[in-house]
Amino acid sequence: MARSIFIEGTDGSGKSTQLGLLKEYLENKGEKALALREPGGSNYYESLRDLYLHSPHEHPAVSDALISAAGRAANIELAKRALEDNIWVISDRAYPSSFVYQAVQGVPLIDIKDINRHALQGFDYDVKILLDVSVDVAMDRVEQAGGKKDRWESKGKEFFIAIREKYLALAKTENYTVIDGSLSVEAIHQQIIECLSI
Ligand code: ADP
Ligand code: TYD
């Protein structure tokens, strides 16, 4: 039976909303769930989050790949322990974020995969979901949600078009389940539950 899942997608695609609903659903079924998010999740990766999202200092894109992989390694340790204890692992973003965002920034995919091989140590998720929404919808949602934008959300529309395309291409080659993120929150939730067979 599946016990681990990531939900991926552009900023504003609805990942956090769905992970919150999924955690509630699993707990109502009497299951325990470890909720992770990236950047963040483990205390170690959380301590890198601010640097990741807001660093004003110039740095090469490969630094982002290395930092996220360093934090991710700590999440994977937590995930492995949780699974041993029959606890679900549900993650808001995971390694595909690096495969997409850092690739769009120009880091060769082969290097990103190599860096992440050290972080993942053979670990992979059972269920892999991409929430796909148009860039206009996603940007509108981020705008509506308000708050200070991080250094990623401040990038222009062209950047997010490239991110969406890269996600769709990756989903195809890696067999992720693509769900239409413009559906209602409830409809998406139901589709995610169907992928879990619980
Ligand atoms: P992400 O974690 O992918 O950035 P969020 O779950 O934070 O996305 O959602 C971004 C915004 O869009 C929030 O204001 C949320 O309430 C809203 N939202 C999420 N899912 C939907 C949906 N299916 N339809 C309309 N609005 C949504
Ligand atoms: P966050 O606010 O956590 O995500 P969201 O807006 O989707 O809720 O922002 C995380 C940002 O960091 C997001 O723009 C993607 C980027 N990112 C990478 O570039 N590489 C990575 O490996 C990860 C995990 C995130």
pLDDT digits (tens, 9 = 90+) for 184-198: 999 999 999 999 978
Ligand 2 site residues (CB inside 6 A) read 11, 15-16, 38-39, 53, 64, 68, 93, 97-98, 101-102, 150, 152
Q: Which ligand is nearest to the CA of 185?
A: 1
pLDDT digits (tens, 9 = 90+) for 43-80: 999 999 999 999 989 999 999 999 999 999 999 999 99
Q: Is 16 in the pocket of ligand 1 (CB under 6 A)?
A: yes
Q: Helices 185-196 and 15-28 meet at what angle, rounded to 10? A: 60
- Residue whose CA is at the smallest distance from ligand 1 atom 4: 12
Nearest partner of 5 among 28, 24, 22, 30, judged by Cα? 22
- Residue whose CA is at the smallest distance from ligand 2 atom 22: 98
pLDDT digits (tens, 9 = 90+) for 157-191: 999 999 999 999 999 999 999 999 999 999 999 99
- How many Cβ atoms from other residues are within 10 Å of residue 147's Cβ? 7
* 6, 13, 17, 140: residue to mutate for ligand 1 pocket, most atoms within 8 A of CB: 17
Contact, 93 vs 46, CB < 8 A? no
Q: Which three-class secondary structure string do you get for the chain?
A: CCCEEEEECCCCCCHHHHHHHHHHHHHHCCCCEEEEECCCCCHHHHHHHHHHHHCCCCCCHHHHHHHHHHHHHHHHHHHHHHHHCCCEEEEECCHHHHHHHHHHCCCCHHHHHHHHHHHHCCCCCCEEEEEECCHHHHHHHHHHHCCCCCCCCCCCHHHHHHHHHHHHHHHHHHCCEEEECCCCHHHHHHHHHHHHCC
Residue written as tokens 């340790």? 77
pLDDT of residue 33: 98
Mean pLDDT of the chain: 96
- How many Cβ atoms from other residues are within 10 Å of residue 177's Cβ? 16
Q: Which domains does the chain have, with CATH numbers?
A: 4-196 (3.40.50.300)
Cα 153 to ligand 2 centre (Å)? 9
Cα 180 to ligand 1 centre (Å)? 13
Mean pLDDT of 83-94: 98
Question: Which pTM does this prediction carry?
Answer: 0.97
Amino acid in position 45: Y
